[in-house]
Amino acid sequence: MSERHQVELASNTSQIALARRVVRAAVHDIDSPHLATDAQLVVSELVANVIEHSSVERILLTIDVDEPSVTIAVATGATRDELGSVDHWNVPAVDAVSGRGLGMVREVADEVWITDSERGAVVNVTLGAAVAAAAR
C-alpha cells in the first residue's frame, strides 16, 4: 500500500529540521537500516538548496512511500536549465568549499530525475528501489 505525505514549508533554514522530521515519520515503518538516514540527508540537501538558491517563499515537499521504497520530491522554483543535468551532480573534490549536496544526493539515491510543475522544476529522488527489485 502506498502513502503520500505533503507539506508546504516556509523558505527559511528553520524548516530543514521540520522536513527531516516529516520524512523520518513517513518512513519509520519501513524495515531498512539506512533508509531513514538517507531520506533525511536527501530532504535536508534538497530543501537547503531551494532556500539558498531560490527566491520562492514556500517549498512543496512530497513524500511517496511504497514500501520498501520512498520517493522524495521537492519543488525548487527553478528551471531545469538552472538545475543542470542530474548526470553532472557529482561529489566534488575533498578540498572543495561547497557543492557537495547534490552529488551526495545522487550517490545515495537509487534514482534521481527532474520533472516540471507550476512551482518550477521538481527534483525527485527514489531510495530503497534496489531493495524492492531484489525482493521480486
What is the identity of the amino acid at 84? Answer: G
Cβ atoms of 99 and 92 closer than 8 Å: yes
Cell 534538497 locates to 46
136 pLDDT band (50/70/90 cuts)?
Answer: very low
Cα–Cα distance measured from residue 124 to residue 35, given in angstroms and rounded to the nearest whole number: 16
**Structure confidence by residue, pLDDT tens digits, 84-102:** 888 877 766 666 555 567 8
**Structure confidence by residue, pLDDT tens digits, 25-83:** 999 989 887 999 999 999 999 999 999 999 999 999 999 999 999 999 999 999 888 88
pLDDT at 88: 74
> Domains in the chain, start-ordered, CATH in brackets?
2-135 (3.30.565.10)
**pTM, whole model, 2 decimals?**
0.88
The terminus-to-terminus CA distance of the chain in angstroms comes to 16
